[in-house]
Structure 1
Amino acid sequence: MDEAVPALAGIAHETGGSTVRLRPVADPDLAMFRRFLTEPGLVGLDWAGFRDPGAPARRHAEDGHLGERDGRLIVQVDPEESAAGLVSYLSGSYGGRAPYWEIGIALLPEWRGRGIGWRAQALLCDYLFAHTPAQRIQAGTHAENVAEQRSLEKAGFQLEGIVRACEFRAGAWRDGWLYSRLRDDPSPL
């Protein structure tokens, strides 16, 4: 993307007495990032082996995880003010001319299955469409991850197809499911 994603003042969606909010990463959140990098299975099927536990602190010192081409935001649930996980965005381009964002999410196990994930992903899409010129946001998931497939559909995404042998996981090349949401698609929020 040509423009850096601006810092969030706060994006939120209320649901059943709780508010799902996206906010910038703060120092206390780095412990959760380290957990995602060092606890096998914490991110479910997305576990890709041990990673450098110091990397989140270095990145935080560099740009607060709000880079021009990629970044992470905390998914917070209020009134508890608890960090439930994170959402991420990464820029790409089709043919060098059509910018898009690829998004992802990682929720801590105790926050899954509560409708937080789809709301967080929808909030992130609305934010990126409001503040960047991208026409397209895409997300991938695993064939086995039915919960994430439903979450993406609730967040306004449509299944585009299967990307064959796109990911090496658990000792084998695996297919992925590719979803997209376009700027003109209605927001579910």
Structure 2
Amino acid sequence: MITFIIGTGTTETLSPRQTAATYRSSALRMVIGDSAARIAERGLANQYRRCFHVSYVTLARIDRILSMSSSRAITLRPPSEEDFDILFQIAADLTTWEERSAASPAPLGRDTFKARLSQADADGSAKSVRFVIDVDGAAVGSVSLFDFDELARHAEVGIALVPEARGNGIGTEALSQIVEFAFVRCNLRRVHLQVIASNLGAIRAYEKAGFVIEGRLRQHAWVRGNYEDIVVMGILRSA
């Protein structure tokens, strides 16, 4: 079953089949957005149950914005309390866990995630820089720099997007902006990342942002029942 917030304090719980059927009405199309309904129709609603506890205003707004022309404004900004639902949706998504984390997949509760964010903000010993990816006023993901090497002047970059924001150039633009921030504002010489070899869409996006393949860690990741290579990519400051 999957629960959608239909209005203030009102919820409606539907099975995947009911969700797909009800989506055919214009009312629910406005509530959950095209992308959410497509997920339900593919039978993935149970996997997304925890992830889609997000207000219909947020989902509909994201879906509407991403359907607009390529002239949309993509910016990086500091996280706010209003971004929590979207960030939690991404972090709790078990279907893309291995693409985002080296830790073993496990259900993630809202309180646990909130405590994790609070601890990261309070920990001044480990330097990191985290931005929310904003598209015309709607949060669609996050991008961060971490594992800084202050002597050799390099850091690792990580990016995560909601499903609706993938595959349309938003990730590439966000990466380009975080790389510029790393080189110009943080005075880094190199930015690097790691990606599962089968994640070809991500590799193409990274290459469009200027990253090149530097190496491969063979069978370094356990991904949904199989060992996979990890591709190491990086970009150097030109001057």
Instruction: Answer 1 or 2: higher relative contact order, Cα 8 Å, separation at least 6.
Output: 1
Mapped pair 1:57 → 2:111: no
* Match in the other structure for 2:23: none
* Match in the other structure for 2:193: 139
Counterpart selection for 1:108 from 156, 162, 168: 162
- 1:142, distance to aligned residue in structure 2 (A): 1.4
Distance 1:35 1:71 in 2: 20
Q: Can you give the 5+ residue segments of structure 2 that lack an aligned partner in the other structure? A: 1-68
Q: Can you give the 5+ residue segments of structure 1 that lack an aligned partner in the other structure? A: 1-14
Contact 1:42 1:108 in 2 (8 A): no
Q: What is the TM-score when the length of structure 2 is the normalising length?
A: 0.61
Counterpart selection for 1:86 from 132, 142, 146: 142
Change (3 A) 1:158 1:113: same
- After the TM superposition, which segments of 4 or more aligned residues of structure 1 sit over 6 Å from their partners? none
- 1:74, distance to aligned residue in structure 2 (A): 0.7
- 1:65, distance to aligned residue in structure 2 (A): 8.6
Alignment-mate amino acid for residue 132 of structure 2: I
Following superposition of structure 1 onto structure 2, how do residues 19-168 of structure 1 map, counting pairs within 5 Å?
A: 19-42=73-96, 45-46=99-100, 48-50=104-106, 51=108, 53-61=110-118, 64=121, 69-78=127-136, 81-93=137-149, 97-168=151-222
Distance 2:230 2:98 in 1: 15
- 1:64, distance to aligned residue in structure 2 (A): 4.8
Change (3 A) 1:118 1:49: same
The structure with the greater share of residues assigned to strand is 1
Q: What is the aligned residue count?
A: 167
What is the RMSD computed on CA atoms of the aligned residues? 2.7
String of CA shifts for 1:132-173, please: whole Å, max 9, x gaps: 132110011111111111111111111112122333333454
Q: What is the TM-score when the length of structure 1 is the normalising length?
A: 0.75
Contact 1:91 1:99 in 2 (8 A): no
Change (3 A) 1:66 1:116: farther
SS at match of 1:54: helix
- 1:18, distance to aligned residue in structure 2 (A): 0.5
- 1:116, distance to aligned residue in structure 2 (A): 0.4
Contact 1:65 1:73 in 2 (8 A): no
Asked which structure has the greater CA Rg, the reply is 2
Distance 1:100 1:137 in 2: 6
Distance 1:136 1:66 in 2: 24
- 1:130, distance to aligned residue in structure 2 (A): 1.4
Distance 2:72 2:123 in 1: 26
Contact 1:100 1:135 in 2 (8 A): yes
